Amino acid sequence: MHGHPLRLILITALVAVAATLVALRWDLVPGVKVQDEAREAFAFAPSGQVTLSDDEEVNVRVYDQVSPGVVNITTRVMVEERYFFRAIIREEDGGTGSGCVLDHAGHILTNYHVVENAASLEVSLPDRTKYKATLVGADPQNDLAVLKLEGAPKDRLHPISLGASDGLKVGQKVLAIGNPLGLQNTLTVGIISSLGRRIETQSGDLVDNVIQTDAAINPGNSGGPLLNTAGEMIGINTSIFTIGGGNIGIGFSIPAATIRRVAAELISDGRVLRPWFGIEGYTINEDLAKLLELPVSRGILVYRIYRGSSAEQADLRGASGVVRWLNNRIGVGGDIITEIDGKAVSSHEELRLLLESKKPGDAVTVTLYRGASRMQKKVPLVEAPQSTQSRRRI
């Protein structure tokens, strides 16, 4: 008799459990169906089926096409230390940068400041293979250098196509690939922010027609390519304007037109053949013009003409006397150069820039003042001396 209530309770519990299972199986409990659908959606959603936008497709295509041709450059430098009046020279890590494969012969384009003072060079390809490299030639004036890999198989080299920089437009999309902070083959995207910028390189030279971009460029990106959406190199990333050392969206690239001219000469001759104007002079400002009673307030007052130079061959004239101004001695009586081929020039750097596109054997028309007389002279350009001392001369 006492067992019947217990049996009844067990039977009732079993019936309740069975009813609950039936309700769940046939979606009779509110809310449970939604949870099951969500669970099934997570469990069975197909993977890898994300549709990329047209813009994303461009990014992926350019990266896949170009990144195999972007390399990492590591340098070693010699350091001299003195201990108890003895000099000890040792080799240590110099730094890293990026580079671009130019051809299957193993030529690599990079910035001069990446390899400056390097005692040895090592280049890592994207497949992680490493090769020694030698410096073929350098052009500090444009912050460019060409290296050559030693023993790199042709099938491991993926040259980057060099595009044109003449028809670029502000607002045009660009992509940068490099190795910022040692993170190999990093892609960043931006636009051309401005064109025709003038920047000063680490060697102190001015470079014209530089591309400005907001694509993120950081330490280690130097020497990497700036690309258009066709995957062509339109510039080589060289420097940034920064506050505190990081990227703030103002980066600069040497244009393809300069790369094409300079790289070809470095590969063929090991140096860039430049004309030598052969003068030294003063930059004229209003104070100097007033003091010396000059006929113009802008230009270069020539005080020295170098023997054998373009200026000497064209019969330009240097100072014929000296005056004192404050604590300075100023050579006076020389020609005043105001224009080269119709373009105003007022400093040595501007003259150097105007001659940058010229070659030995070319000629320029110089507008100058000799005393109060304005005249023009045709100046044939001769080759610049190779000595280091003459490199900074115009």
Return the active site residues. Answer: 113, 143, 222
Contacts of 331 (CB under 8 A, 6+ apart): 282, 301, 303, 304, 318, 319, 321, 322
- Residues 335/302, Cβ–Cβ less than 8 Å: yes
**Which tokens sit at 121?**
């060079």
How far apart CA 205 and CA 239 sit, in angstroms, is 14
Which residues is 371 bridged to in the sheet?
none
What is the Cα–Cα distance from 81 to 125, expressed in whole angstroms? 33
3-state secondary structure of 230: coil
Q: What angle do CA 103, 105, 110 make, to 5 degrees?
A: 55
In whole angstroms, give the CA distance from residue 123 to residue 76: 12
What is the three-class DSSP state of 337? Answer: strand
Nearest to 319 by CA among 337, 332, 330: 332
Q: Cα–Cα distance between 144 and 262 in angstroms, integer? A: 8
> Are the beta carbons of 237 and 220 closer than 8 angstroms?
no
Backbone angles phi, psi at 322, to 5 degrees: -135, 140
